[in-house]
A and B are shown apart, each in its own frame.
Chain A
Amino acid sequence: MYVAVKGGEQAIARSLELLAEARRGNTAVPELELAQIREQLRLGVARVMQEGSLYDEDLAALAIRQAAGDMLEAIFLLRAYRTTLPRFGYTQPLNTSAMRVRRRVSGTFKDIPGGQVLGPTYDYTQRLLEFDAAPTTCVTPFDAPLPPNMPRVLDLLDAEALIERIEPGDDPEPIDLTREPLMFPADRATRLQNLSRGDEGFLLSMAYSTQRGYAESHPFAGEIRMGDVDVVICPEELGFPVEIGSITLTECQMINQFHGGNGVPPQFTRGYGLAMGEGERKAMSMALVDRTLRCDELAETNYAPAQNQEFVLSHSDSVEASGFVQHLKLPHYVDFQAELSLLRTLVSTLHPVQQGEDGRGRFEPVSPEKEEQREVLKS
């Protein structure tokens, strides 16, 4: 007699054991320490912090270890933890002009006040696998220290009134997307918030599409800077600002051509990207997509996927996308049965079903005569 499948609970318990064993791997190899992940996989840590929306290198390292290096799973783990944290307050806007810069490049001017600073970058590594262990770690000391404050490149254009000016204070108070639902049309602050949590791969592809003719963005990398920025809060009970620490950020300001429209004169326009840690690819992609999503405001023809804010913002989040794509492995017996029974109804009007000896339906191969009848039925 048929016995229905039972024991989901036990199956889950066994699966968790197998997972723990697989995650740990060969126990003869020492387990990764969190400090090793934090120090030696810093770009992975940065990505998990950025898309996990939580700046905590140790927790991100823990998440990466627990997720066996699956970044999207690590991001999910960090998000699920973050959601339980109480809010003590909001920081003042970060002042990236006062960033203690470690890297800073501009694609628009050969030389800039403060200079071009390559800093630690993979750009010129030649991508040869380093088969020898432990490459050299000695760093040549600076000839002269970098200036403590570097003016932002776009401010130079701003002085000439060639680039759109966005005054601080022009922005409405942003909503908190982790507390409020995303509604459309979304304003720029909300869009940027969504993009900053968005999946790097998704944003990269969206940004790439704008360079290949799906929306015309004509971008220049005005400035990319990476370094440390102070975080300041102003607790209500104190009434004065207090610095609570500093975080590493990567900021990208794109400069885009604009021929004028919607009452705006021809000028350069801005696209903005910001990422926690060293996240240049993310910041640049974000800046391109940000600018492209401003098409309605600037009366540009809205036809490309990257210009469609519902398309971009609704599909950017890796935790949402990964969950929903993978929910297909959950049982769908009931809906599948419903579809099966519908399809049988539809097919039975074309192919009459013969009863098998056991009383169960069997589908019969269609004979030429049957095929003729079917044609008649159809007409």
Chain B
Amino acid sequence: MTYNFAFLDEDTKRMLRRALLKAVAIPGYQVPFGSREMPLPYGWGTGGIQVTAALLGPDDVLKVIDQGADDTTNAVNIRRFFARVAGVATTEHTVDATLIQTRHRIPETSLREDQILVFQVPEPEPLRTLEPREAETRTLHALADYGLMHVKLYEDIAQYGHIATSYDYPVLVDGRYLTSPSPIPKFDNPKLDRSPALMLFGAGREKRLYAIPPYTHVESLAFEDHPFEIQRWDHRCELCGSSESYLDEVVVDDRGARLFVCSDTDFCSGRRAQVQA
């Protein structure tokens, strides 16, 4: 038997696109959708895959990254999946991609209006760890009652002197909905604000979609006397020398020696190619 283009049948894609349109119309709002079972385990990108499948056309060029890298096994597997079931062109270059599916990072290279970034989301509800009941969190969103989160951040400061959230750092989208940016490091949060590219979020297991439309104001929660800050390193990337990218720490021997390299592999190799040229 053969599968439909991009695996999902056209009715399912239509259902997904309708849900995505609703998500774009209400920035940051979690739209429940009839998430399908995919031939990939839940928690491994089933939401992102469904969004990508609903959007892919034959002329699209797909890039898939995990932790910023194109060659991590799950990214390779998802790219292989779409090359197999949709036959689309794939790329590792951010600038060449029309659609980028990502887990845990936003590329360092600025995105454009003609690109779409699809996030894989494990837990779409930013309040979940503070309030496990779904019926309750939906009410809190309806009332825009985000006191719980503000108290949590305040307690961090009172206890540690810092906001102790380093990834999946909560944002307020378009001044209305408290939203999970997915587990990207807070380093990437500023890239969400007024991005020219459409950003779509898919949570397959939790059966929710949401969106940050282009040029939408996205604010990372903070306090006047404790402004939002991103991670900084005392090191540069040891491969390309970048001082402005997010760095992975690599253990290089059994005595605990470390070195730091760009997490965005395409960004890093691009810079190295420039230096060599």
Contacts and interface: CB of A to CB of B under 8 A. Distances in A.
Interface of A: 2, 4-9, 11-12, 76, 79-80, 82-84, 86, 178-185, 310, 314, 319-320, 322-327, 330-335, 337-342, 345-346, 349, 358, 360
Contacts of B32: 181, 183
A175 to B, nearest CB: 10
A6 B257 CA distance: 21
B5 to A, nearest CB: 13
Given A83-B36, A326-B41, A310 B132 contact: yes
Nearest to A77: B39
Interface string B68-96: 10011111110010000000000000000
B44 A83 contact: no
Contacts of B73: 8, 11-12
Nearest to B160: A346
Most chain B CB inside 10 Å of its own CB: which residue of A178, A182, A338, A360: A338
Contacts of A323: 41-44, 46, 205
B239 A181 contact: no
B226 interface: no
B162 A346 contact: yes
B205 A324 contact: yes
27 contacts: A5-B71, A8-B71, A9-B71, A12-B80, A83-B36, A184-B134, A184-B135, A310-B134, A323-B42, A323-B43, A323-B44, A325-B43, A327-B122, A331-B66, A331-B67, A333-B248, A333-B249, A334-B183, A334-B184, A334-B246, A335-B104, A335-B167, A335-B185, A337-B247, A339-B167, A341-B166, A342-B166
B257 A360 contact: yes
Contacts of B164: 342, 346
B72 to A, nearest CB: 5
Contact of A76 (B41, B43, B168, B187): B41
Contacts of B21: none
A324 B42 contact: yes
A306 B37 CA distance: 26
Given A80-B39, A326-B41, A334 B67 contact: yes
A181 B207 contact: yes
A83 B3 CA distance: 11
Interface of B: 3, 7, 9, 32-39, 41-44, 46, 66-68, 71-77, 80, 103-105, 122, 132-135, 160-162, 164, 166-168, 183-187, 205, 207-208, 231, 233, 238-239, 246-250, 252, 257-259, 261, 263, 265
A324 B164 CA distance: 24
B68 to A, nearest CB: 6
A185 B43 contact: no
Given A335-B167, A342-B164, A4 B41 contact: no
B38 A83 contact: yes
B135 A310 contact: yes
A327 B74 CA distance: 10
Contacts of A337: 185, 246-249, 263
A27 B149 CA distance: 59
Nearest to A341: B231
Contacts of A2: 238-239, 250, 252, 259, 261
A338 B76 CA distance: 24
The 10 closest A-B pairs by CB, nearest first: A327-B43, A323-B42, A323-B41, A338-B166, A324-B43, A181-B207, A8-B76, A80-B39, A181-B32, A342-B166
B196 to A, nearest CB: 23
Contacts of A180: 34
A198 to B, nearest CB: 15
Contacts of A84: 3, 7, 9
Contact of B44 (A8, A330, A334, A345): A330
A334 B185 contact: yes
Contacts of A345: 162
A289 to B, nearest CB: 19
Contact of A334 (B36, B68, B71): B68
Contacts of A7: 71
Contacts of B259: 2
Given A12-B80, A335-B185, A360-B258, 11 more contacts: A83-B37, A178-B34, A310-B132, A314-B134, A319-B37, A323-B44, A323-B46, A330-B66, A334-B246, A338-B185, A346-B160
Nearest to B249: A337
A269 B265 CA distance: 62
Contacts of B71: 5-9
Contacts of A185: 135
Nearest to A6: B71
B134 A335 contact: no
Contacts of A331: 66-67, 72, 74
A80 B42 CA distance: 11
B104 A334 contact: yes
B22 to A, nearest CB: 13
A335 B43 CA distance: 16
B194 to A, nearest CB: 23
B161 to A, nearest CB: 7
A228 B205 CA distance: 34
A320 B35 CA distance: 12
B8 to A, nearest CB: 8
A180 B132 CA distance: 21
A378 to B, nearest CB: 11
A178 B238 CA distance: 49
B231 A338 contact: yes
A120 B185 CA distance: 57
A124 to B, nearest CB: 39
Contacts of A334: 67-68, 104-105, 167, 183-185, 246, 248, 263
Contacts of A320: 42, 205
